[in-house]
Amino acid sequence: MENFDEWFHDILENANITDSRYPIKGMAIWMPYGFQIRKHTMNIIKNLLDKDHEEVLFPMLIPEAELAKEGIHVKGFEEEVYWVTKGGQTELNEQLALRPTSETAMYPMYALWIRSHIDLPIKYYQIVNTFRYETKHTRPLIRVREITTFKEAHTAHATKEESDEQIQDFIEIYKTFFDDLGLPYLISKRPEWDKFPGADYTMAFDIIMPNGKTLQIGTIHNLGQTFAKTFDITFEDKDGEHKYVYQTCAGVSDRVIASVIGVHGEEKGLRLPPKVSPNQVTIIPIIFKKGKEEVLGKCMEVKELLESKGLRVNMDDRDIRPGKKFFDWELKGTPVKLEIGPRDLENNITVAMRRDEEEKIELPLDDSLADAVMDLIEKTQENLSKSAWEFQKEHVKFTEDLEEIPQLVEAGNVVKFRWCGDEEIGKQIEEKTGYDILGIQEEISEGKCIASDNDAKYMTLIAKTY
Ligand code: PR8
C-alpha cells in the first residue's frame, strides 16, 4: 500500500463505513456497513466478558467535584474534558463533564455498593461513548473526540493478588478477542511516564499498522488503591477490619475496528475476517435474459441453505454488470463470493472465490455445498490471521545499536532493545531517537543497556506511534 493514511481515509467512505463530514472535528457518523462491522465486533467482546462480568450503564455526565477528586487522574485529563455549563439559559451551579472515561462516575457508586467482603469482587463493564478533546491530529476511528465504541470494564477486589489475577484475565480476554479478529498484537507494560493517570501500572496491546506506525488498541490498568482511597471504597473483611478495595479497569475502542480495516485491507479494498464481516458469503447471480428465473431461483435456494447453517449471506441481484458487483464486494471485503450463471446451472456447479486468494474454485451444487463453503470461510479467517501475524513478525527488529533505531523505525519496524529500566535513560532514548517507548516486553538478566553502562533489565519496544 503506497499511502496508507490516504487509503484508510478513502476506504471508510467508499465502503460505507463512516462519514467524517459531520461538522464537528473528530466526530463522525457510523454508516450502515460500518455499523454492522462494529456490531459484530462488539458482540465478540460482549460474549467474552459476559462469562464473568456484568454489563451496566452509567450516565454520561460527571459532576465537576467528582471528576476533580482524584488529583493525578484529573491532571491527566484536564486538557481533554468537554464541559456542560448551561441547562437551557440557566448557568448550572456546578459544571458537568462529558465523561472522558468513567472512573469518577462509577467509583462514588462503588463506594455505596461495596460494604462487605461478600460484595466482592465487582466486575462491571459498559459500552458507551466517551468524549476527549484530543489535541493531537484527529483521524477517523483512530483518534476521535467522541469515542463512540468505548468498552470499559471496572473491577474491585479484596486483595492485591486478586487484582493482579484480574489483569491476567483481561490479557487473556483481549487475546481471544483480537485472535477472533485475526489481529496480531504486541503486549507490553507501559513505562511509568506513559501509564494511565492514576494507575499503578498499565499493560497495553499495540498493533503495527501497514505504514509501520503502532496503534494502541487496548489497555489494562491496575489502579491499586488510589481511587479506593479517593472515593472511600472500603469493605469489612472476614477478620472484621475495614479495608480499601483494589481496582482494575480495561478499555478498547473504535481503534479495534480501525485495525481490522487497516491490517487486513489491501489496494482493492477491505478483507474482512468472517467473524465480523456483515456478509460472510455474497452470492452473485450471472443473469442473461434467457434462464434468468432459474438462476435467481437457484441463488435463493443456496442462500437459504447457507443461512440455515447459521451463515450471514447476501445476494446481489442488482441490475448491473457482474463485473461491477465483483468490484463492489471486493471493496467491501466479503470473505467468500459465489457466482452462479446459466452455464453453472447446466453443470450443477457454483464458482467460489475467497477474498484473500485469486483462485476460483468450482463447487458442486449438491449436499456437500454448505460444508465446502464453511471450509472456505474458516480458511479465510485462518489465512488473514496468519498473514497478519507474519507481517508483525517481519516488522519487529532487535538492535544493540542506538544509532540504528531511526533507520529501522523509518523502514516501518518496531524496534526491540535492551534497557536498564532507568527513567532518565528511557526518556533520553526517546529524545535521541524521536520515538516513543511502547513498554517492557519481558524481564531479562543478560546484556547491557542500549544507552548506558548499566546491566539490562528489560527487553523493550520502541516505535513510531499514532
Ligand atoms: C481508560 N478507563 O480510559 P485508556 N480515539 C479512539 N480510541 C481511543 C482514544 C481516542 N481519542 N483514546 C483512547 N482510545 C481506562 C480503561 C476505562 C477503561 C482507546 O484507558 O485511556 C485506546 O485504544 O487507555 C485505549 O487503549 C483505550 O481507548 C482505553 O483508553
Digit-coded pLDDT (tens) for 392-411: 999 999 999 999 999 999 99
Give the confidence band of 96 by pLDDT, cuts at 50, 70, 90.
very high
Average pLDDT (440-453) is 97
Distance CA 153, CA 53 (A): 8
Statement to judge: residues 258 and 375 lie in one domain: no
The owner of cell 454492522 is 36
**Percent above pLDDT 70 for the chain:** 100
- Residue 335 sits in a domain whose CATH number is 3.40.50.800
Number of separate domains in the chain: 3
Average pLDDT (374-381) is 98
Does residue 271 lie in a domain region? Answer: no
Does residue 276 lie in a domain region? Answer: no
- Residue 53 sits in a domain whose CATH number is 3.30.930.10
pLDDT value of residue 2: 81
Contact (CB, 8 A) for 208 and 414: yes
Average pLDDT (348-356) is 98
Average pLDDT (328-349) is 97
**How many other C-beta atoms can be found within 10 angstroms of the C-beta atom of residue 367?**
8
Statement to judge: residues 313 and 174 lie in one domain: no
- Residue 408 sits in a domain whose CATH number is 3.30.110.30
Statement to judge: residues 175 and 305 lie in one domain: no
Statement to judge: residues 260 and 287 lie in one domain: no
Statement to judge: residues 166 and 309 lie in one domain: no
Does residue 293 lie in a domain region? Answer: yes
Q: Is the peptide bond before 121 cis (omega within 30 degrees of 0)?
A: yes
Statement to judge: residues 338 and 200 lie in one domain: no
Domain that includes residue 422, residue range = 396-463
Beta bridge partners of 147: 130
The burial of 401, by beta-carbon neighbours within 10 Å (0-12 exposed, 13-18 middle, 19 or more buried), is given as: exposed
Pocket test for ligand 1, best of 216, 256, 260 (most atoms within 8 A of CB): 216
Give the confidence band of 429 by pLDDT, cuts at 50, 70, 90.
very high
Statement to judge: residues 18 and 92 lie in one domain: yes
Average pLDDT (318-338) is 96
Statement to judge: residues 260 and 354 lie in one domain: no
Distance CA 412, CA 135 (A): 25
pLDDT digits (tens, 9 = 90+) for 100-150: 999 999 999 999 999 999 999 999 999 999 999 999 999 999 999 999 999
Instruction: Return the residue whose CA atom lies nearest to atom 12 of ligand 1.
Output: 143
Does residue 368 lie in a domain region? Answer: yes
Statement to judge: residues 99 and 141 lie in one domain: yes
Let me know how many helices (H) and strands (E) the chain has, helices first. Answer: 14, 23
Distance CA 9, CA 246 (A): 42
Strand order in the sheet with 396-398: 54-55, 122-131, 146-157, 246-252, 214-224, 201-208, 186-189, 436-443, 458-463, 414-419, 396-398
Pocket test for ligand 1, best of 45, 101, 144, 174 (most atoms within 8 A of CB): 101
Statement to judge: residues 130 and 238 lie in one domain: yes
Q: For residue 1, is pLDDT > 80?
A: no
Does residue 269 lie in a domain region? Answer: no
Does residue 198 lie in a domain region? Answer: yes
Average pLDDT (29-55) is 98
Does residue 31 lie in a domain region? Answer: yes
Q: Does any ligand 1 atom lie closer than 6 A to the CB of residue 222? A: no
Q: Does any ligand 1 atom lie closer than 6 A to the CB of residue 132? A: yes
Average pLDDT (40-58) is 98
Domain end, chosen from 329, 356, 380, is at 380
Atom of ligand 1 nearest to the CA of 215: 23
- Does the pTM surpass 0.95? The reply is yes
Mean residue pLDDT across the chain: 97
Q: Does any ligand 1 atom lie closer than 6 A to the CB of residue 219? A: yes
Statement to judge: residues 20 and 113 lie in one domain: yes
Q: Does any ligand 1 atom lie closer than 6 A to the CB of residue 254? A: yes
pLDDT value of residue 333: 98
pLDDT value of residue 289: 87
Does residue 389 lie in a domain region? Answer: no
Domain end, chosen from 264, 298, 333, is at 264
pLDDT value of residue 305: 97
pLDDT value of residue 346: 95
Q: Does any ligand 1 atom lie closer than 6 A to the CB of residue 255? A: yes
Domain end, chosen from 231, 264, 297, is at 264
Q: Does any ligand 1 atom lie closer than 6 A to the CB of residue 253? A: yes
Q: How far is the CA of 251 from the centre of ligand 1 (A)?
A: 6
Statement to judge: residues 31 and 132 lie in one domain: yes
Distance CA 248, CA 66 (A): 19
Residue type for 123, please? K
Q: For residue 286, is pLDDT > 80?
A: yes
Q: Does any ligand 1 atom lie closer than 6 A to the CB of residue 215? A: no
Grid cell of 178 as nine digits: 483480537
